[in-house]
Amino acid sequence: MDNELRIIISGGGTGGHIFPAVSIANAIMALRPDAKILFVGAEGRMEMQRVPAAGYEIKGLPICGFNRENLLKNITLPFKMWKSDRIVKGILKEFRPMAAVGVGGYASFPTLKAAASKGIPCLIQEQNSFAGKANKILGKKAAKICVAYEGMERFFPADRILMTGNPVRQALLETTISRDDAIRSFGLDPQRKTILLVGGSLGARTINESVLQHLDLVRQSDVQFIWQTGKYYSAQIAERLKELGKPDNLIVTDFISDMGAAYKAADLVISRSGASSISEFCLLGKAVILVPSPNVAEDHQTKNTMALVNKDAAIYVKDSEAPGVLLEKAIATVNDKERLETLKTNILKLALPDSAKIIAEEVIRLATTK
């Protein structure tokens, strides 16, 4: 066992944390097929299904976040944190990791805190342009902090920062389908401009309302739309469309399994501003309108958005204003050839390729250099 490369990767909660974590694990295995990788996640969160599906073992912690809406639910939080600390110490003792990686999410804090206290080299992968409180604390003891945005020395020691970008789903970069075939796969016309609306796997209420309130604008336009509503809103939207009538140029789905084809089909994307999504848009060179969610810690999605907008690499629509202006702005933009080309050119300049491999190399270096 002493000759094995043993790595713990911790975090999750959303696809934006899980996709980079799995990408890093895959990159480590590509470089060192003999490596042993163990994930640590939060019980009841999506990593407990997604990580095993990707072929990796995961241990769960009874950790959760602070509930600001129902303060009574926080009564058990100190016990859950204490129990998680105990479980993590047992995991570290049994697995004996040579390095620990934190990608954000509830489980990453107790895992990396315990690892650092035992002298295990820790690497943080901070995906956003504004670091969260947990990572700011962990960053004080981390050996390396991998970031995707400039100016992160505001939060972390400058000599330990490594600009790597965010790892993305490799399948998106390997999509070989042509634009025309991608559009035909959705039953649409390759001769027409196409707008893709996505709000994540669960959906985004504001983006959905922006469509529902302007179905006449959709119907009258010469543009076609692919609309991922999210599973949470799909039944409600289906009922509304029965009442209001679905335009023929609007494809509605609760979930898109082949996002590579969806991105290839789209001349313009409308999306929230999660760090992983933004990294995908940069690498793929997609023109995008960003509607940052206001319901995230430290309003980090708006800060992610402005990092692009300040370089004329994306268009920003405020969440509270989206229902009134989003569809009209999107249709005008997708029909403006010069504006589309400017957005695509500028966002492609911000791409940081090979992120997973660069991070994996750094993890291996930390694990094997004492």
Mean pLDDT, range 175-195, rounded to an integer: 95
317 and 329 Cβ atoms separated by less than 8 Å: yes
pLDDT tens per residue, range 324-356: 999 999 999 999 999 999 999 999 999 999 999
Q: How far apart are CA 199 and CA 277, in angstroms?
A: 10
Residue 101 tokens read as 């990686």
pLDDT tens per residue, range 284-308: 999 999 999 988 777 889 999 999 9
pLDDT tens per residue, range 246-264: 999 999 999 888 999 999 9
Q: How far apart are CA 107 and CA 90, in angstroms?
A: 15
Q: Identify the band that residue 2 occupies on the pLDDT scale cut at 50, 70 and 90.
A: low
Closest C-alpha to 244, from 213, 275, 272: 213
Q: Can you tell me whether residue 216 is helix, strand or coil? A: helix
Q: What is the pLDDT of residue 16?
A: 74
Closest C-alpha to 277, from 12, 100, 14: 14
pTM for this one? 0.86
Q: How far apart are CA 57 and CA 229, in angstroms?
A: 32
Within the chain, where are the H helices?
15-31, 47-53, 77-95, 108-117, 133-138, 170-173, 179-185, 205-212, 215-220, 234-244, 259-265, 275-284, 300-309, 322-334, 337-348, 355-368
| Sheet hosting strand 250-253, strand order edge to edge | 250-253, 224-228, 194-197, 268-271, 288-290, 315-316
pLDDT tens per residue, range 68-84: 666 777 787 788 889 99
Structural element, H or E, at residue 10: strand 6-10
| pLDDT of residue 241 exceeding 60 | yes
Q: How far apart are CA 306 and CA 278, in angstroms?
A: 11
For 20, 36, 96, the CA distances from 147, given in Å and listed in that order, are 12, 25, 27
| pLDDT of residue 200 exceeding 70 | no
338 and 312 Cβ atoms separated by less than 8 Å: no
Q: Identity (one letter) of the amino acid at 368? A: T
Mean pLDDT, range 278-285, rounded to an integer: 94
Within 54-107, where are the H helices?
77-95
Cβ neighbours around 1 below 10 Å, total = 7
DSSP code at position 102: E
Q: Can you tell me whether residue 292 is helix, strand or coil? A: coil
Q: How far apart are CA 203 and CA 150, in angstroms?
A: 29
